[in-house]
Every structure is written in structure tokens, then in C-alpha cells.
Amino acid sequence: MTAHVIEARDVNLSFGPTPALRGATVSAAPGEILAVMGPSGSGKSTLLFCLAGILVPDSGEIRFDGARVDTLDETRRSALRRDQFGFVFQFGQLVPELTAEENVALPLLLAGLRRNKAIEQVRPWFERLGLDGLEGRRSGELSGGQAQRVALARGMVAKPQVLFADEPTGSLDSLTGEQVMSLLVDAAREQGTTVVIVTHEARVAAYADRQVVVRDGNVHTPATEPVVA
């Protein structure tokens, strides 16, 4: 294990003529919870997508456990996202045709686990996250907070080395957002998962071990000034 489990080094990325990242450098240690803050359009989500191997930078390096990610082809980056990374997005992005239980089981099924074994691993998460009795409901039958807890369980069930959370409380009220963040942090601590949280909310960033700010495509640390959305 390297000192930095996930790292961006001098990353540049443009969308057409518009620069999104300009020499961004950031890293997170094993088990660390890192908050990446910044106003809308600052490049913070773009940075997360580069770290996760979803986007490939124009230049610079992305490393996971010391090995280059940005030089891998899409097939190997997809395998990395499936086997080593977990994701929680702002609106949960649950598959509407599947039950809550099936949504949580998706990463295990995609990794080749048999359905009965996958469901066996999934069920304890429903009790843990206060979702008992909701296993058979579809996303349209869940509240926003319930759906986001299902998304959290899906992101953590395969015990990823890194969990990427993009505005995980952005669609929730303050109280529900606090509950989701407490559950996320507790689960990550228990499993030793590194978490990279993109947020513009100081109350969410307060759960992190460390904060950085993205402004104009570059990373500034530590966060010493309020971030205006």
C-alpha cells in the first residue's frame, strides 16, 4: 500500500476551448476522508471523475495504489471502477426497474457473485441504515433520504478501497443530509475505505479529515475561506 491510495498529479483537462482543470494536484491517504470543495463550475466534479477513471485528463497523472490509471484503456478502467471503487451521486441514480435490494446488490452481481450470495451480503445493510422492510420497494416508492441510503449501501457493499461521493446530500434537507453523512462516515471508518467527497456545503465538508478547495481548475489547501455556491 502506498502513502497515497488515490492521487492526481498536475492534471489538466479542457472541454473544447474551455479549461476545466489547470494543473490540479491532490491526494488521499488510505482510510482518509477528503472533502473537495468549491463553487459551481470550479472543476471539483471534473477532478473527481478524473480520479475515478471516468474522464481521462489531457495531461498529468492519475494514480491508484501507486499505479497509473489514466494510461489504462476503458476496459481496464471499467474493471477498476467495478472492483475497487464505489460511487454515491447527488440523486442516487438508482435503477428504477429494480427493487432497493437488487439495486444494492448490483456491484456484487456485476463482479460475478451468484444472486443468492449477493442478497445475503446485502440484507444486513438494510438494518444498519434504517431501511428494514424497504427491500422490495422501487426507487419511486422511496423518500429522497431512503433512496440516498440505498445508494450509499450500493456504494459500500463491495467494500471498495475508495468511495467517490459527488454532492451526496445535495438533494436532501439538512437533517436528512446530516443522517446520510453520519452513516457514510461510520461505514467508511469501519471498512477502512478512503472517501473523496465533492461538496460546496461547509456542513458536509466538516465530516472530513481534511478539506481542499478547487477554484478555476486548481486545488488550494487548506480550505481557509468560505465557499460560495
Let me know if residue 32 belongs to a domain: yes
Contact 109, 115 (CB under 8 A): yes
Looking only at Cα atoms, what is the longest distance across the chain? Answer: 51
Residue range 26-72, pLDDT digits in tens: 999 999 999 999 988 899 999 999 999 999 999 999 999 999 999 99
Spell out the per-residue pLDDT of the chain, length 229, in tens. 458 999 999 999 999 999 999 999 999 999 999 999 998 889 999 999 999 999 999 999 999 999 999 999 999 999 999 999 999 987 668 999 999 999 999 999 998 999 999 999 999 999 988 899 999 999 899 998 899 899 999 999 999 999 999 988 888 888 888 988 998 999 999 999 999 999 988 999 999 999 999 998 999 976 444 444 4
- Residue reference for cell 437488487: 102
Let me know if residue 1 belongs to a domain: no
Residue range 196-209, pLDDT digits in tens: 999 988 999 999 99
Half-sphere exposure of 80 (CA within 13 A, CB side): 22
Rounded to 5 degrees, what angle do the CA atoms 212, 218, 219 make?
Answer: 20
Which amino acid, 192? G
Please tell me whether residue 212 adopts helix, strand or coil conformation.
strand
Nearest to 156 by CA among 211, 108, 95: 108
Chain-centroid distance, C-alpha 190:
17
- Where residue 137 sits, what CATH number does that domain have? 3.40.50.300
Residue 112 domain boundaries = 6-220
Let me know if residue 36 belongs to a domain: yes
Buried b (16+ CB within 10 A) or exposed e, 88-97: bbbebebeee
Let me know if residue 166 belongs to a domain: yes
Let me know if residue 41 belongs to a domain: yes
Let me know if residue 226 belongs to a domain: no
Let me know if residue 229 belongs to a domain: no
Per the structure, how many domains does the chain have?
A: 1
Let me know if residue 42 belongs to a domain: yes
